[in-house]
Structure 1
């Protein structure tokens, strides 16, 4: 691993003078001074034993700033400071022939900067983490042991009981409609539909099928946010940070004793954070019918085990829900029937129903049973168009990975 530092230094600015450190008056001069010391250390040949001291001070101090008050009120300058601290810390960890543990710590540090900080130096943290990830892959076994392979196969061949869908309630299906046909028959009248055959060309479904082994090889060492709890409306629901491999072991394979709650990866940044996965998917062509630019489309990852539930809720944009791995049961209600769906009164959950869709409390919510709905089982390779403001309830019938595209 002696050449790790050579690869990292090659993507850094050429000298101290070419490395900008400019902040507004929001950032105290004492913090800027420590950042300058970190920068100087970056270009020195010093091999001191505590190279991470100054970077860690920056990381800790800015972390406190990021966790004071609400997120939207945090000055972006402090997010930039945090990213610089993560950059300096990751570089310090790799300065002198890093151990395998130091490499993993550097990867986690970069991920924290990508998740919580702001982009700096042409998104240099993304560049560095890809270098580090390549080194981690070299230092770890390519193949899982036989017991893990057996467990993976067992999970893959589970045959969950899918609910019977009545024909009169089923979401209509159409194979590869033209843009004009989709626009006229579904987008403009805001009618749900399952689109078949439109993502068969995705590498995630063809050249590089998404399996547990593949996801672990591409993203295993990366730190990601994980939701713990079968649904976000549960009282015990919480969020934590795990590596992708830890998430798989704890919540997908259930290999760790004492783990409580269903873990679910619901991530709005995953494909920006891990571009290798983004290269395995494509934007649906039908998004071009929207009013915004391509950069305005939000791409979300949804990865979790059997039984994970997304409570009945509505979103403020059009949604293409693409199923890559496993199957999901989906139920849809028109926004015209909102008064029968009993949304929460709080501003935080006003877009979410109080009703447990598959086990409703008819005494508390007597009008719910009168609301008409459509339903479907969404299978790999299928894309469900969920029109803006349409209420939708989703339950994973097995290990599932979906990708959704929110667009206007």
Structure 2
């Protein structure tokens, strides 16, 4: 997981979740009988977020109701180029260590990727792999409002999850877009680990990269995540316990990577909840407090739409959105 784990009831017993699923399904059906459009979809989403499967009855119920729900469109144009970069006080910090560019490769064969990048655990930017995905032509802010605007999702509030004011809140996709995409005065990020299971219409627009077949698990073991937010949002330098393909659908992201061999130079937090996150502000490092940070070797890239970055397991990565962007990540073993 990424730094602070998403707060939620995933650890509840299967029995409790099943009871909750029954309650959600009965509640949604009761709202349908009363012709109440709002609560029924919210009840379904809460059940889905609880991972209350119940034979996928809630997902099927939402899909049946979806065509009958009113589509919403944003009346204001969302910001496209705002990049709220961290403020750096002149003269208070030394320059961060130099970095090398991550290599780019166009549609390598499975064997070439396995032998030259997966086995030796080397990052690479893959091009041409996702050109055929429907999302590359379909996805936009208006499309999300049409397909998922009424759906309730968890949203991260704040520029980065290590900030004290960082929090999470449930809201509809339309409310998120209005408050955190259109309105430039707020900072929020839709970082969703269940979005594609919750909204199958979006999952149909993407494909699992073929290179994931080189892993040890089954396709059902692959975790697909959504990352949607404005420019200036940041994922602090952190590491994840699985291989990662980060696919950029629209917008650009600045990314810096560092090998796990340099972990001791990156000063991970000592607390258990943030043990996979560095204490160092990558673009504004305090080298008096963290002097060994200069010994760490970095690679970087600006991930463009249509590109996929391979981030090897346990590789440290820092991500800053340069503008309104949507990424999809695939975690696999």
Give the structure-1-normalised TM-score.
0.74
Partner of 1:346: 271
Instruction: Figure out how many residues of one structure are paired with residues of the other and give that number.
Output: 316
SS in structure 1 opposite 2:130? coil
Residues 1:132 and 2:57 aligned together: no
Partner of 1:183: 114
Partner Cα separation in structure 2 for residue 86 and residue 95 of structure 1: 14
Unpaired runs of 5+ residues, structure 1, are: 1-68
Partner Cα separation in structure 1 for residue 231 and residue 112 of structure 2: 35
1:217-253 Cα offsets, whole Å, 9 max, x none, are 0100000000001111111110000000000000000
1:278-330 Cα offsets, whole Å, 9 max, x none, are 00000001001101100010000000111000000001110000000100000
Partner Cα separation in structure 2 for residue 76 and residue 305 of structure 1: 36
SS in structure 2 opposite 1:205? helix
Question: Taking structure 1 as reference, are residues 394 and 123 closer, same or farther at Cα in structure 2, changes over 3 Å only?
Answer: same
Residues 1:75 and 2:13 aligned together: yes
Quick one: which of 123, 126, 133 aligns to 1:192? 123
Q: How far apart are residue 73 of structure 1 and its match?
A: 5.0
Higher share in strand: 2
Partner Cα separation in structure 2 for residue 280 and residue 167 of structure 1: 38
Partner Cα separation in structure 1 for residue 268 and residue 257 of structure 2: 15
Larger RCO: Structure 1 or Structure 2 (Cα < 8 Å, ≥ 6 residues apart)?
2
Partner of 1:287: 212
Is the 1:264–1:305 Cα contact (8 Å) retained in structure 2? Answer: yes
Partner of 1:37: none
Partner Cα separation in structure 2 for residue 167 and residue 373 of structure 1: 7
1:159-209 Cα offsets, whole Å, 9 max, x none, are 8699xxx99710000111011110111000000000000000000013x2x
Partner Cα separation in structure 1 for residue 316 and residue 32 of structure 2: 49
Partner Cα separation in structure 1 for residue 82 and residue 269 of structure 2: 35
Give the structure-2-normalised TM-score.
0.90
Partner of 2:183: 254
Q: How far apart are residue 262 of structure 1 and its match?
A: 1.3
Partner Cα separation in structure 1 for residue 222 and residue 267 of structure 2: 29
Is the 1:82–1:117 Cα contact (8 Å) retained in structure 2? Answer: no
SS in structure 2 opposite 1:245? helix
Correspondence 1:385-404 to 2 at 5 A: 385-404=310-329
Partner of 2:28: 90
SS in structure 1 opposite 2:53? coil
Partner Cα separation in structure 1 for residue 262 and residue 247 of structure 2: 26
Partner of 1:170: 101
Is the 2:128–2:307 Cα contact (8 Å) retained in structure 1? Answer: yes
Correspondence 1:97-176 to 2 at 5 A: 98=35, 102-120=36-54, 122-137=55-70, 140=71, 144=73, 147-148=75-76, 151-152=77-78, 155-156=79-80, 158=81, 169-176=100-107
Partner of 1:225: 154
Is the 2:82–2:232 Cα contact (8 Å) retained in structure 1? Answer: no
Is the 1:272–1:278 Cα contact (8 Å) retained in structure 2? Answer: yes
Partner of 2:228: 303
What RMSD over aligned residues (CA atoms) do the two structures have, in Å? 2.1
Residues 1:335 and 2:269 aligned together: no
Is the 1:194–1:383 Cα contact (8 Å) retained in structure 2? Answer: yes
Unpaired runs of 5+ residues, structure 2, are: 1-6, 86-96
SS in structure 2 opposite 1:74? coil
